[in-house]
């Protein structure tokens, strides 16, 4: 009896499964001919990205043949020549250089930051990188008592009496509870950007800043700062998260511990550089542009692979896919490799000015500047009426992107494309998985080997798929 019951139960279960599946598939809406055609094109884009993509070998060449490429440097100059030469091989309708004057800051000799004058631990080296734009210590060693703060309120409460003549140590970590790591970054990066200026107002002689990273390691994260011209500019360095933990623990037992700093950096006169641009001209709307891009400059440590060599080579490959497919776009599809995102944004500003002068309208500008990780989707920023129109016309087709793990959502774009907001088109930021991004951001660990070939190619395919939908359905 038991065996017969089991057989009967299995039969009933199988029948129920078949009924459920049949009901499910008969209630799914059938694809229209247009949707089927779109799905085929998008499938072809991904097939090409994953079998014939060049973004990964291009990234290898950018990292190893060019290297890091801070604005104004020889590396940046080489990057401009390299990227134009590569775009010239794709068979685009136009490739050109757009002149822009950029800042020129040099790090100089390696930073020396030591804990000194403590009872037990004198001479401890702190892994450090000068913040971009920092002044030097004028061929001297700057030393002083350290005061730790974790908020602007603590800084203000100490005031001049507690800060004058001392070195301020900003030790507010990125919030690990934030699932969106860019939100955690946004909640901590103000101390790096404005810390030196605000401490200088109270008479501080120097600044240490905890690195903007979630992982505990020995890699200091550089990044730009902003001085206040009404107060004296003071030297500023980022120290690694491990160094910040050690220094903070030491200050709990020795509140008068001292640190010495020696920085060799300097700011030189501005230098002529270029945005690198290539395009496929639109057949119906040549003055309406769909832009894909990243920033060509990087910090002067590591290879600048995730930030933002990945975004540059992905954007270049997007145009190559369309050329290889023989696709004739309705709108102009343009790749822009911006110069000077890291410490000035002058490339993005100059590009927007020139677009305005030429009377070009950007239907959408898509920036890839969040690393070469697994694609998750795109964020969109625009006036509410533009966003609503987009989600009615283009995002209505996002079911075509769902098989590739992509979601389209409001919010977020990119720094280089932000000056285009006045055109009232659509701005978009490519959103890969961000959980590991700040392990590499602005560090010597941001090297070619940290980038996955498949993830990079999937990102380029995702960008091309969105461009295709935008070109077909417009705004």
SS3 assignment for 331-362: EEEEEEEECCCCCCCHHHHHHHHHHHHHCCEE
pLDDT value, residue 411: 87
Query: Please, which pLDDT band fits residue 320 given cuts at 50, 70 and 90?
Result: very high
Instruction: Output the pLDDT for position 13.
Output: 41
Give me 223's structure tokens.
């990044």
Higher pLDDT, 279 or 411: 279
Cβ(441)–Cβ(174) under 8 Å?
no
Among this protein's residues, is 341 annotated catalytic?
Answer: yes
Average pLDDT score, the chain = 93
Does the structure show a pLDDT above 60 at 8?
no
How far is Cα 280 from Cα 194, in angstroms, rounded to an integer?
A: 41
CA dist 169 and 407 (Å) reads 40
Tell me, what's the pLDDT at 88? 98
Q: Say yes or no to pLDDT of 14 above 50.
A: no
Spatial separation of the C-alpha atoms in residues 69 and 78, rounded to whole Å:
8
- Residue-range domains of the chain with CATH: 33-102+270-473 (3.40.630.10), 109-268 (3.50.30.30)
Return the H-helix or E-strand segment holding 457: helix 453-473
Q: Is the pLDDT of residue 197 over 60?
A: yes
Check whether 114 has a pLDDT greater than 90: yes
Strand partners, 149: 170
Whole-number pLDDT of residue 22 = 41
Average the pLDDT over 72-82 and give the result. Answer: 98
Three-class SS state of 296: coil
Contact present, 448 and 304 (Cβ < 8 Å): no
Catalytic choice (111, 148, 279, 341): 341
pLDDT confidence of 26, banded at 50, 70, 90? Answer: very low
**How much is the pLDDT for 21?**
37
pLDDT over 50 at 458, yes or no: yes
For residue 139, give Cα distances in angstroms to 51, 109, 263, 266, 290: 54, 11, 8, 11, 49
Q: Other CB atoms closer than 10 Å to residue 108's CB: what's the count?
A: 12
């Amino acid at each position: 009896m038991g065996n017969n019951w089991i057989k009967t139960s299995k039969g009933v279960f199988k029948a129920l499964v078949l009924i459920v599946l049949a009901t499910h598939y008969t209630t799914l809406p059938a694809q229209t001919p247009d949707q089927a055609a779109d799905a085929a094109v998008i499938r072809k884009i991904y097939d090409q990205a994953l079998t014939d993509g060049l973004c990964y070998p291009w990234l290898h060449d950018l990292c190893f043949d060019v290297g890091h490429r801070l604005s104004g440097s020889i590396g940046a100059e080489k990057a401009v020549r390299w990227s134009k030469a590569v775009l010239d091989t794709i068979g685009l309708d136009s490739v050109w250089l757009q002149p822009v004057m950029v800042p020129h800051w040099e790090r100089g000799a390696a930073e020396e930051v030591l804990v000194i004058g403590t009872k037990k631990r004198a001479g401890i080296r702190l892994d450090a990188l000068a913040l971009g734009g920092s002044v030097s210590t004028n061929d001297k060693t700057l030393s002083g008592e350290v005061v730790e703060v974790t908020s602007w309120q603590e800084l203000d409460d100490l005031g001049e009496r507690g800060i004058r003549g001392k070195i301020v140590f900003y030790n507010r970590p990125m919030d690990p509870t934030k699932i969106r790591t860019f939100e955690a970054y946004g909640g901590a990066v103000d101390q790096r950007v404005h810390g030196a200026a605000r401490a200088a107002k109270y008479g501080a002689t120097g600044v240490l800043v905890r690195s903007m990273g979630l992982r505990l390691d020995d890699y200091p994260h550089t990044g730009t700062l902003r001085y206040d011209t009404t107060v004296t500019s003071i030297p500023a360095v980022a120290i690694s998260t491990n160094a910040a933990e050690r220094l903070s623990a030491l200050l709990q037992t020795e509140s008068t511990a001292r640190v010495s700093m020696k920085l060799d950096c300097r700011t030189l006169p501005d230098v002529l550089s270029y945005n690198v641009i290539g395009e496929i001209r639109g057949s119906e709307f040549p003055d309406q542009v769909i832009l894909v891009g990243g920033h060509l400059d990087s910090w002067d440590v590591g290879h600048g692979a995730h930030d933002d060599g990945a975004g540059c080579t992905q954007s270049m490959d997007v145009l190559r896919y369309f050329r290889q497919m023989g696709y004739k776009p309705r709108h102009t599809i343009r790749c822009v490799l911006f110069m000077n995102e890291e410490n000035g944004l002058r490339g993005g500003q100059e590009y927007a000015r020139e677009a305005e002068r030429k009377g070009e309208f950007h239907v959408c500008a898509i920036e890839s500047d969040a690393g070469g990780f697994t694609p998750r989707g795109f964020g969109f920023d625009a006036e509410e009426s533009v966003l609503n129109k987009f989600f009615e016309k283009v995002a209505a087709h996002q079911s075509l992107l769902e098989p590739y793990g992509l979601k389209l959502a409001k919010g977020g774009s990119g720094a280089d494309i932000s000056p285009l907001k006045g055109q009232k088109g659509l701005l978009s930021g490519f959103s890969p998985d961000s959980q590991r991004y700040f392990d590499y951001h602005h560090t010597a660990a941001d090297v070619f080997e940290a980038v996955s070939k498949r993830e990079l190619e999937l990102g380029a395919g995702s960008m091309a798929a969105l461009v295709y939908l935008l070109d077909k359905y417009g705004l």
